[in-house]
Amino acid sequence: MSRDLDIHVCIIEDDETIREGYVYLIGNTPGYKVVGSYPSFEDAAKKLANDNPDVILLDVELPGISGIDALPKIKKLAPEAYILILTVYEQDMLIFRALGNGASGYLTKNTPPEKIISAIQEVMEGGGPMSAHIARMVITSFQRNEASPLTRRETEILEQIATGKSRKRIAQELFIDLETVKSHIKNIYHKLNVHSKADAIKTAKDNKFI
Amino acid sequence: MSRDLDIHVCIIEDDETIREGYVYLIGNTPGYKVVGSYPSFEDAAKKLANDNPDVILLDVELPGISGIDALPKIKKLAPEAYILILTVYEQDMLIFRALGNGASGYLTKNTPPEKIISAIQEVMEGGGPMSAHIARMVITSFQRNEASPLTRRETEILEQIATGKSRKRIAQELFIDLETVKSHIKNIYHKLNVHSKADAIKTAKDNKFI
DNA sequence: TTAAAAATAACCTGATTTGGGGGAGAAGCA
DNA sequence: TGCTTCTCCCCCAAATCAGGTTATTTTTAA
């Protein structure tokens, strides 16, 4: 069987035991081949472009530059590769920064071996593998706060303000008078206890009112 | 074995064949119980609160009010229930509106029966089940366009503008002069070929520059 | 080690927007 | 019938925005 049809995988993980575990797991699974294995981004950087991986397993906590900050650089070295984050951390900030920086999946380290293999398969087939809890957090990030103090119209107008439009333009697009828009904004400011649009937008976003 | 420990499931799906298929599948799986099955939201609305479901399977294309528009109303009738979207549609707009309206998962209709069962299980355990392609689209929505014409600083400043902050405030927070911020903004406008912050923000967001 | 790109800052002008004060009518709901 | 929401009106002063041109320093890349 030709090795050329195998999925080529790189691993960047500082803990030697865990790293060797992945190497063993993937190397011994038919259809997969480990083409590189490094304890840090600095080590990986030199050889990554030559490895020509299809998928890169990346740890977030690495010595030197963190996995998340390394993501854009890895993307440049291996633009065709899918990057899967493998980590113990489940903090919102890390997840969203990782995805924003180009990760195509996010797995926690308690993921059983067979799930890691299927995640690699899945990302190659156009999927976005995530651990269950991560997926929930991602979905939740799209959702609004149902206990918003703002009325429907107020919410609509604050959303428009958040796009940078002037009150005049908002009035025109909603077919209402400029004075009406101003009234709504005054009410929004009172309800949110702020005195500027920047603060209104921040408060509203922090509380998921918009 | 007590039925009280079962996961209670409601189904809202207009195609009778498909609906009965789900009823049969779920009703005959140990640990699950179908407590309601309706061809439209209007039919479901009357009885939903009484069914007290743990999970609701919801189709997006329904006669009368669409599943997506029904979502907030369903949330009010059964605030404790998790809602899983089951549909043939994979358009961005539908997915993000569904998630924004309160769905906790999104499955396409080619999902095999055992995956539907495990998705119900998963959402009850704090997960966010999504079909592979949906998950990829969701992840992609977090990612930036790497071919942005904006420099790092320009991107940073446009992001700040998008939060509603004034140029003066941006200057203070970035420890640079107001004139510098103005220079960057002029360059941003030229690069994006716009003449207002609203247009700059729109163009940048449409193209995922910010 | 240069040349190019990016970030910084200045000075000018005029139009527009913003935030805040007050009040008030109409529609719809409980 | 109150209560909320949406609508509109008047006033004001301060601040912001958009645009032009030029120029220095720092960083990055060839």
Asked if A152 CB < 7 A from strand D, the reply is yes
**pLDDT for A4:** 67
Render pLDDT for B138-177 as a digit per residue (tens, 0 to 9): 999 999 998 999 999 999 999 999 999 999 999 999 999 9
The reported pLDDT for the residue numbered A202 is: 98
The yes-or-no verdict on residue B1 having pLDDT over 70 is: no
How far, in Å, are A153, B29, B69 from residue B73 at the CA level? 18, 29, 8
The CA distance from B40 to B19, in Å, is 11
Give, in degrees to the nearest 5, the angle at Cα B81 between B139 and B123: 40
> Is there a contact between B138 and A137 (Cβ–Cβ < 8 Å)?
no
- Looking at the complex, report in whole angstroms how far the Cα of residue A82 sits from the nearest Cα belonging to chain B: 11
User: What's the CA–C1' distance between B155 and C16, in Å?
Assistant: 25
B163 contacts in chain A (CB < 8 Å): 198, 201-202
| Chain B contact present for A190, CB below 8 A | no
Predicted local distance difference test score (pLDDT) of residue A65: 84
Partners of B133 on chain A (C-beta within 8 Å) are 126-127
Render pLDDT for A88-116 as a digit per residue (tens, 0 to 9). Answer: 989 999 999 999 999 999 999 999 999 99
**B163 and B64, same domain (yes or no):** no
Would you say residue A92 lies in a domain? yes
Q: Is residue A147 part of a domain?
A: no
Dump pLDDT digits (tens) for A107-154. 999 999 999 999 999 999 999 999 999 999 999 999 999 899 999 999
**Domain-embedded: residue B92:** yes
| Whether residues B183 and B127 fall in one domain | no
At A172 the pLDDT is: 97
pLDDT at A50: 87
Contact A139 B166 (CB under 8 A): no
A147 CA: distance to closest CA in chain B (Å): 12
Distance, in Å, from the CA atom of B186 to the CA atom of A18, rounded to the nearest integer, reads 50
Domain boundary among A140, A161, A184: A140
Whether residue B52 sits in one domain with residue B123: yes
Residue A66's pLDDT is 85
Which pair of structure tokens corresponds to residue B37? 């099955």
pLDDT exceeds cutoff 50 at B134:
yes
Of the residues A97, A116, A140, the one at which a domain ends: A140
The number of residues making up chain B comes to 210
Domain ranges, residue B110: 3-140
Rounded CA-CA distance A148/A139 in Å is 19
Residue B67 has a CB neighbour count (10 Å cut-off) of 25
Structure tokens at B32: 């699950």
Q: Which residues of A touch B77 (CB under 8 A)?
A: none
The closest of A122, A137, A128 to A102, measured between CA atoms, is A128
Residue of chain A minimizing CA distance to B126:
A133
Choose between A75 and B54: higher pLDDT. B54
Query: B172 and B116 in one domain?
Result: no
Domain boundary among A95, A117, A140: A140
The arrangement of strands across the sheet holding B55-59 comes to B32-38, B7-12, B55-59, B82-87, B105-108
Mark whether A87 and A177 lie in a shared domain: no
Q: Which of residues 124-143 of B touch A (CB under 8 A)?
A: 125-130, 132-140, 142-143
Does one domain contain both A100 and A199? Answer: no
For chain A, the domain total comes to 2
Contact between the CB of A177 and strand D at under 7 Å = yes
3-state secondary structure of A140: helix
- Whole-Å CA distances, B35 to B3, B11, B44: 11, 8, 11
Please state the pTM of the whole predicted model. 0.91
- Mark whether A115 and A14 lie in a shared domain: yes
Q: Is residue A68 part of a domain?
A: yes
Query: What is the arrangement of strands in the sheet containing A32-38, beginning at the earlier edge strand?
Result: A32-38, A7-12, A55-59, A82-87, A105-108
For residue B146, tell me if it sits in a domain: no
The identity of residue A16, as a single letter, is E
The owner of tokens 């004075």 is A179
Same domain, B136 and B162: no
Condensed to tens digits (0 to 9), the pLDDT of residues A39-72 reads 988 888 888 888 889 999 999 988 888 888 889 8
Q: What is the mean pLDDT of residues A171-184?
A: 97
Is residue A3 scored above 70 in pLDDT? no
CB A71 within 8 A of CB A46: no
A176 touches strand D (CB under 7 A): yes
Q: Round and report the angstrom distance from CA (B190) to C1' (C13).
A: 20
Smallest CA–C1' distance to D21, residue: B183
